[in-house]
A and B are shown apart, each in its own frame.
Chain A
Amino acid sequence: MHKYVIKRLLMLIPVILGITFILYSIMTLTPGDPVRMILGDGATDEAVEQMREELGLNKGFFEGYVDYLKDAAHGDFGKSYRTREPVFNEVFARFPNTLKLASSAIAISIILGVLVGIIQAVHQYSILDNIISGITLICTSIPDFWFGLILIIIFCVNLKLLPASGSDHWYNYVLPAITASMGYTAGTIRLTRSSMLEVIRSDYIRTARAKGTDERTITYRHALKNALLPVVTLIGINLGWQLGGTIIVEQIFAIPGIGTLMIGAVRSKDIPLLMASVTFVAVLSSLINLGTDILYAYIDPRIKAEYSK
């Protein structure tokens, strides 16, 4: 197990190198000069040259990248071109908003997803099952930004119940969290349903029935425990995706999170800020996935035995 965890942690090194290199190449090799963007079109050539020097942009392609890595290895990830603050100050200032949004969205998808999935599996082929299947199918096909706007029309414009933007109070997060959770909830429902159906057919459930155990105990005590195993993995993957995937939802509801930060960085060619925010999210979601796998080993002894081989 330890060996496995260490191996997975070591895998993060090439991932970080790869991501930074891909982003660095995209940003430096494409047209558009960050210095001109900061200074505007009227800037003199001397001023541009001076700023290039300041930002370390006058180096060659590989030299610039190697220098970035050297500094990063010493914990210096560079300063934002615009604010001149160390990049991680900004990343950490924005991150709590994204975390709040992502975790509340995931919480909704777990509670709603597992509950509805169980109900569907218990009543397989009933009208209720078919209706819910139809709804989940459509939910996976609705673009989140459109769904968000529809929610705004209903709850902000017509009912005037909730605010359409802002990030200061808990109720600012209600609509964004519902919007961000929709697709994931539908996925959790589908997986819980099919995994429950598979488990319900297994021999030990038949044994429990033969013993005369009542259906409720069978569903919630016997079947659910095993049926939730794949769901745990899905939730881990979802949380990882959510952290990087709330970009568009943040845009709709004007939440100052990592996504908004990243889009700003891309638009103004703020290379250090972009590399820091994307790498941060990617590493975090890799760590969450690793955490899920470890958790998985603890709840399923069969998997643990597999790792220690």
Chain B
Amino acid sequence: MSDFNTTAVVDAIPVHKYKKKSQAYVIWRRFKRNRMAMIGLVLFTIMLIVAITAPLYIDYDKDVITQTISMRYQGPSLAHPFGTDHFGRDIMSRVLWGARISMFVGVGVVAISLFIGSILGASAGYFGGVYDNVIMRIMDIVLAIPGTMLAITIVAALGGGIANLLLALGIEQVPKMTRIVRSSVLTLKRQDYIEAAKACGTGNVRIIFKHILPNAIGPILVQATLTVARTIISIAGLSFIGLGVLPPAPEWGAMISEAKTQLMNYPYLVYAPGIAIVLTVTSLTLIGDGLRDALDPKLKN
């Protein structure tokens, strides 16, 4: 009799409840419930699609950089929703193409700083001791230089252009990435499963890259998202003072800088690229904040 009851109880519990949900799925469910974060994600996805598909409906040579002086300073109209600039180029095409540049450099900077920062931070946190101290003091020194100044110095010394911009902003971000990775590694390395991996004779490099870093991905991802957002502003700022992407490439900051000279007569030139920056950065910030809350619900107030 008692046997029968037990079986019935076990049967009554649906089997799928025992299926282990992956952590990523749990985090995604929490993320989905956050309305602001989802707005950010949708907005960013749309802009990403626009940036990727831009070559399908915009011809770079014809629409973006060809100068038609007879068409200059046309106010917003149906043919040119945001008007045309001082060379008669369609501002809408330039703003849409600009998304490609900003997002490419933004993601590139994070990739560079994350690559260097992960190696430095993970090794510093894992090995500790003198090595850790030396690495972190060097990072402190780099952090003591005001970020914009460091980036300006590097770009000015090497010259403008996307490659140098990537390098300059990447170096600026390395210390922050190193710190984040290091602190995650410090908490993880004392866990039992790392001890177990060591006992199995797993090599240090393998432990760092296969066992520690994948588990530290959360805070790194949050930092990476927010860094892309900050970097997009930095790129625009450097281009604005003439030390970033070289003309005639339609970078948003460079477009604002060109519009600056005609502020008195044609203020409309300034609006579109600026709004593009604000939308991109806001959407990334929303995603970053949403990710942080989804990863650690306790932090949310």
Contact = CB atoms under 8 A, between A and B. Distances in A.
A263 B138 CA distance: 25
B267 A157 contact: yes
Interface in A141-173: 141-146, 149-150, 152-153, 157
A18 B267 contact: no
B282 A141 contact: yes
Nearest to B168: A26
A145 B240 contact: yes
8 contacts: A15-B140, A19-B141, A145-B256, A146-B274, A251-B241, A274-B153, A281-B149, A286-B144
Interface in B235-263: 236-237, 240-241, 253, 256, 259-260, 263
Contacts of A263: 152, 156, 241
A149 B263 contact: yes
- Which of B236, B259, B260, B277 is most buried by chain A, counting CB atoms within 10 A of its CB? B260
A207 interface: no
Q: Which 10 A-B pairs have the closest CB atoms?
A: A244-B146, A18-B141, A141-B281, A146-B274, A266-B156, A30-B157, A141-B282, A153-B267, A15-B144, A282-B144
A19 B260 CA distance: 34
Contacts of A32: 157
A247 interface: yes
A19 B149 CA distance: 11
Contact of A153 (B146, B233, B270, B277): B270
A144 to B, nearest CB: 8
A263 B153 CA distance: 8
A194 B299 CA distance: 11
Contact of A143 (B142, B149, B157, B236): B236
Given A153-B267, A157-B267, A266-B153, A22 B274 contact: no
A157 B203 CA distance: 66
B157 A26 contact: yes
A23 interface: yes
Given A149-B263, A262-B152, A194 B301 contact: yes
A305 to B, nearest CB: 25
Interface in A1-31: 11, 14-15, 18-19, 22-23, 26-27, 30-31
Interface string A259-274: 0001100110000001
A263 B241 CA distance: 9
A239 B184 CA distance: 29
A19 B147 CA distance: 12
> Which residue among B145, B274, B282 has the maximum number of chain A CB atoms within 10 Å of its CB?
B145
Contacts of B267: 153, 157
Interface string B156-194: 111100000000000000000000000000000000000
Interface residues of B, number: 42
A213 to B, nearest CB: 24
A11 B133 CA distance: 13
Given A15-B144, A145-B256, A247-B148, A266 B157 contact: yes
A145 B238 CA distance: 10
A157 B263 contact: yes
A278 B150 CA distance: 9
A176 to B, nearest CB: 15
Contacts of A18: 138, 141-142, 144
Nearest to A12: B144
B264 interface: yes
A111 to B, nearest CB: 24
Contact of B137 (A14, A30, A145, A267): A14
Given A15-B144, A19-B145, A266-B153, A30 B158 contact: yes
Interface in A167-223: 194, 197-198
B50 interface: no
Contacts of B149: 244, 247, 262, 278, 281
A194 B146 CA distance: 27
A7 to B, nearest CB: 13
A295 B144 CA distance: 20
Contact of A245 (B148, B158, B281, B282): B148
B137, B152, B236: residue with the most chain A Cβ atoms closer than 10 Å: B152
B148 A26 contact: no
A171 B141 CA distance: 37
Contacts of A27: 153, 157
B287 interface: no
A120 to B, nearest CB: 12
B52 to A, nearest CB: 22
B180 to A, nearest CB: 18
A73 to B, nearest CB: 19
B286 interface: yes
Q: Which of A194, A197, A278 has the most CB of B within 10 A?
A: A278
B148 A149 contact: no
A26 B164 CA distance: 13
Most buried by A among B141, B149, B281: B149
B225 interface: no
A76 B193 CA distance: 57
A68 interface: no
A273 to B, nearest CB: 12
Given A27-B153, A142-B274, 10 more contacts: A18-B138, A141-B281, A142-B277, A142-B278, A146-B256, A150-B274, A247-B241, A251-B240, A252-B260, A263-B241
